[in-house]
Structure 1
């Protein structure tokens, strides 16, 4: 698996990361979650991304991978739902991290994100100071922000974060074009989410009211052509090798899909001529599109 330096953090991450939301679902059995998590590490995927809001995900990672903690970089998110604290306060960060460490059965979280609060919340000094204190205490290694648009841009410029997580894909390039260059100049690590654009191309008709709806609309306007590639390879290689991206996270409960995605990323970047067609389509249609929240 391709490995990369994660900004200036000193961490090494695989180009393909694992989004652990699916394995937190209650309809996924413990045995199934355990098989997927161990296969992730066996494939050489070294970034695991979870969150307080992902059901059983943190607890299962801690229970099933406690004996392999040295094999992966652990990314989580919070700011809400901490027992004994009001959401988006300094106490919610302090207690939330303490409780996450217990669920994850570890003494530190490598990358801890504020999980997509709006700009006015993100700028609260009590939140930022609590993150600073957690990092100084060694409970987290990198303070991070997960989100889009103006809040993401502020996070990068603020100097208070060592990493960001944001959407980067064929149909969502605001962050790629407007924020990631500054993030890399400042030495921040970058995790890209939604790299396969919610598989929007698989819907023959507009998925009204569903998660991929916005991306479906954008792809209709972009009229991209993957050439000889299948759409998943086209999308995943685009995001994984986009300028400034350190790792892309894909979420699945399927071992077959996981192994397929790992093989795709090992193929490397898209051909320059295919990248040029994506850029031309975005220049023509995408100027007014913000990041999808």
Structure 2
């Protein structure tokens, strides 16, 4: 490992996680890693992820979560909250689906008081407003989107009625 310290080191898609976990625990004991995490993109991996979470050997999980994929809210997020495990959200924009597939433009007017001017910002704010979520990692191929996406965090935790509006408006426009 060339870096002196890594904040979060994740075992991607649980690939050979037992072997990697032992190595990462050793590096954590040496102070070279702060948090060990696990990731997976499919709900079929959630039972195994929850088993690993219960072992208390990890400090973060990365799962898909967005306005159209709520599977992690049933058991994963409650367990992470109970155990104090950080949650990194992948695909908060549904791989762009909730922007590309809109048949009509959702109204951002009611969201402007929260500093949201783009629907992508609304979708990101919806995800990070779930208090069990630590951070969302939207993918983008356009550098100008980085600042726009980051501005979604300025909205803070949205009230539930605003989160409901974003979900309903997205579904109405798909």
- Interval of TM-score (by shorter of Structure 1 and Structure 2): 0.7 to 0.9
Deviation at 1:253, TM superposition (A): 4.8
Q: CA RMSD in A?
A: 2.8
Q: Does 1:248 align with 2:143?
A: no
Question: Does the Cα contact within 8 Å between 2:60 and 2:85 map onto a contact in 1?
Answer: yes
Q: Contact (CA 8 Å) 2:38, 2:58: kept in 1 or not?
A: yes
Point out where structure 2 has 5 or more consecutive residues left out of the alignment: 112-117, 169-174
TM-superposition CA deviations, 1:8-49 (whole Å, max 9, x none): xxxxxxxxxxxxxxxxxxxxxxxxxxxxxxxxxxxxxxxxxx
Choose the corresponding residue for 2:76, options 165, 179, 204: 179
1:39-71: CA deviations, max 9, x gaps? Answer: xxxxxxxxxxxxxxxxxxxxxxxxxxxxxxxxx
**Which residue pairs with 1:69 in the alignment?**
none
Per-residue CA deviations over 1:146-177 (Å, capped at 9, x if unaligned) read 12522322221121111111112111221133
1:166 to 57, 63, 66: 63
CA distance in 2, matches of 1:227, 1:271: 15
| Structure showing the higher helix proportion among its residues | 2
Which residues of 2 match residues 85-234 of structure 1 at below 5 A? 98=1, 102=2, 106-117=3-14, 121-122=16-17, 124=18, 126-147=19-40, 148=42, 149-204=46-101, 228=109, 230-234=118-122
Residue 238 of structure 1: CA displacement? 0.8
Q: What are structure 1's unaligned runs of at least 5 residues? A: 1-97, 206-219, 281-293
The TM-score, its normalising length taken from structure 1, stands at: 0.47
Q: Which runs of 4+ in 1 moved over 4 A?
A: 277-280
Residues 160, 180 of structure 1: alpha-carbon distance in 2 compared, 3 angstrom cutoff: same
Which whole-Å CA distance do the structure 2 matches of 1:202 and 1:187 have between them?
Answer: 32
Structure 2 partner of 1:264: 152
Equivalent residues of 2:121, 2:151 under 8 A apart: no
- Map 1:19-58; keep pairs closer than 5 Å: none
Q: 1:156, 1:179 within 8 Å by CA — same for their partners in 2?
A: no
In the aligned structure 2, how far is the partner of 1:162 from the partner of 1:271?
Answer: 28
1:56-107 alpha-carbon deviations (Å, 9 max, x no partner) = xxxxxxxxxxxxxxxxxxxxxxxxxxxxxxxxxxxxxxxxxx2xxx2xxx30
* Alignment: residue pair count: 156
TM-score norm. by structure 2 comes to 0.75
Cα distance change on mapping 1:113 and 1:277 into 2, 3 Å:
same
Partner SS, residue 251 of structure 1: coil
CA deviation after TM superposition for structure 1 residue 193, in Å: 1.4
Is the 8 Å Cα contact of residues 27 and 33 (structure 2) preserved in structure 1?
yes
Closer, same or farther: CA 236–226 of 1 in aligned 2, 3 Å: farther
